[in-house]
Amino acid sequence: MTSADQNAVQGGAQGEGLGPDVVLTITGRNVEVPEHFQERVSGKLAKIAKLDPTLNSFHVELKHEPNPRREQEAERIQITATGSGHLARAEAKEDTFYNALDAAVAKLERSLRKVKARRTTPMSGHRAPKGAGKLAAELEAEQKAAQAREAAAQGPYDVDPYEDQVEDLTPGQVVRTKVHSNAPRSVDDALSEMELVGHDFYLFINEETNRPAVVYRRHAFDYGLIELADEAEAEAGEK
């Protein structure tokens, strides 16, 4: 394929990859998507499809980000998997697209396994299931390893020596707006959705109270829940 602003490859994968009933779209932004890489993507995602058979579509986006300060993170891959009423997303930046693919697939697999553990292990309130202690330890070790790699990758050019001398900075602006459906759901379902998309919070309508609510990550592996209520309800809840 020739290099273009956006190249796309669609269709079911062959051989040991995804089945013909699964749609795979690979998009390259200013990069070529060679056929052998398409086969590698299909093979890697086949494992994800087996983990969650409800997933029927994968979109993989490749993007080169030329930044001399971040040569080890110049190749970015984002994977978005969609299924029956839900989606999962993972992103990684590495020195090659092959390494980025491995890292993104690993993140996606961890998210799906964590959600699967939540759905198959009895809940105790809204805390993470105690039966997933081994999984939690593994996630903590992986997070520490990722932080160590990021610290090791920093070089002398990662710090701007003139940062404190710039005075014409403008306040942050709202640069993106999203509107989502407000179908009520349980707190546990909201936590699962948050894990699948890889975010630190999730906004939803709590089906138990019919109020706007947000679940978010706290320290260790616990979560928090915030709900909006009118002034009278809020005062009653504080008493």
Q: Of 202, 177, 67, 74, which is closest to residue 126 (Cα–Cα)?
A: 202
pLDDT one-digit tens code per residue, 69-79: 666 778 899 99
Q: 91-124 b/e with 16+ CB inside 10 Å = b?
A: bbbbeebeebbbbbbebbbbbbbbbebbeeeeee
pTM over 0.85: no
Q: How far is CA 13 from CA 37, 38, 152, in A?
A: 12, 9, 37
Give the model's pLDDT for residue 12. 47
pLDDT one-digit tens code per residue, 138-173: 556 666 676 666 666 655 555 555 555 555 555 667
180 against 218, higher pLDDT:
218
- How confident is residue 130, by pLDDT bands cut at 50, 70 and 90? very low
**Whether the Cβ atoms of residue 102 and residue 44 lie closer than 8 Å to each other:** yes
- Evaluate the CA torsion angle 44, 45, 47, 51 in order and state its sign: positive
What DSSP character marks residue 146?
H
pLDDT one-digit tens code per residue, 2-52: 344 444 444 444 446 788 888 999 988 878 888 889 889 999 999 888 888
Give the model's pLDDT for residue 135. 53
Task: Kindly report the number of other CB atoms within 10 A of residue 37's CB atom.
Answer: 19
- Evaluate the CA torsion angle 174, 178, 182, 183 in order and state its sign: negative
Q: How far is CA 168 from CA 161, 163, 208, 218, in A?
A: 16, 11, 48, 35
Give the model's pLDDT for residue 60. 93
235 against 155, higher pLDDT:
235
- How confident is residue 59, by pLDDT bands cut at 50, 70 and 90? very high
Calculate the average pLDDT of the chain: 75
Rounded Cα distance between 124 and 73, Å, is: 40
**Whether the Cβ atoms of residue 88 and residue 105 lie closer than 8 Å to each other:** no
> Phi first, then psi: what are they for 60, rounded to 5°?
-115, 120
The radius of gyration computed from the CA coordinates of the chain, to the nearest angstrom, equals: 21
pLDDT over 60 (residue 108)? yes
